[in-house]
A and B are shown apart, each in its own frame.
Chain A
Amino acid sequence: EAGVTQSPTHLIKTRGQQATLRCSPISGHTSVYWYQQALGLGLQFLLWYDEGEERNRGNFPPRFSGRQFPNYSSELNVNALELEDSALYLCASPNHSLFANEKLFFGSGTQLSVL
């Protein structure tokens, strides 16, 4: 069974540019969670997609957006990049559960550097 895949591994951009990050969840999983992990900080919840729809978003500005495709893969877009957007962006594929007992399978992440 293929795990969660993310691309690219590294991305270097300059301030004001736009970045697109991609994620494919585990086959059969319909949900994708996106997280930002800045250096020395914990994981911050960004976005949750399920069945093609945005279910919830964390406390991030609107320039962080995304979508989920019919095959459940997902894109995260960050517009008007700022220096503080430099971070490891992680995508997670939860084992879908009706109850609060979700185990997360993470992709290896995209390291975004904004210069």
Chain B
Amino acid sequence: RKEVEQDPGPFNVPEGATVAFNCTYSNSASQSFFWYRQDCRKEPKLLMSVYSSGNEDGRFTAQLNRASQYISLLIRDSKLSDSATYLCVVNRNPAGANNLFFGTGTRLTVIP
């Protein structure tokens, strides 16, 4: 079983729509969680961390469900500029590259 699994999509949504992505992780010892955004053929960039209590940054809301071992990203009022691939990243102790696990990404296309 993969450490991190994501629905690859693509999700094609109209402007202004609300869209949600889920990501599941297999190891209950996972400590911290992130969403990264990657534009086509570009490098990933940190979108937001995911905290146990859930957190919001403008139109973006991230949530963590430790019991079910998944994290989610909700995008409200989608913009054309939100079109990208969203990567789920899970981090285990101790810190280090070998304890960082990436999902394959969920592709979002926002349509005019």
Q: A residues within 8 Å of B by Cβ? A: 31, 33, 41-43, 45, 47-48, 55-56, 58, 88, 90, 94, 96-109, 111
Contact = CB atoms under 8 A, between A and B. Distances in A.
Contact of B95 (A43, A58, A100): A100
B102 A103 contact: no
B91 interface: yes
Contacts of B34: 103
Nearest to B102: A43
Given A41-B104, A42-B103, A42-B104, A98 B94 contact: yes
A101 B98 CA distance: 13
Nearest to B99: A100
Closest 8 CB pairs of A and B: A42-B104, A48-B97, A106-B43, A100-B31, A100-B91, A33-B97, A56-B98, A43-B102
A19 to B, nearest CB: 18
Interface in B67-88: 87
Given A106-B44, A108-B43, A56 B96 contact: yes
Given A43-B102, A100-B92, A55 B43 contact: no
A33 B97 CA distance: 6
Contacts of A103: 34, 46, 49
21 contacts: A42-B102, A43-B44, A45-B98, A47-B97, A55-B96, A55-B97, A56-B96, A97-B95, A98-B95, A99-B31, A99-B32, A100-B32, A100-B91, A100-B94, A101-B31, A101-B95, A102-B91, A102-B95, A103-B34, A106-B43, A108-B42
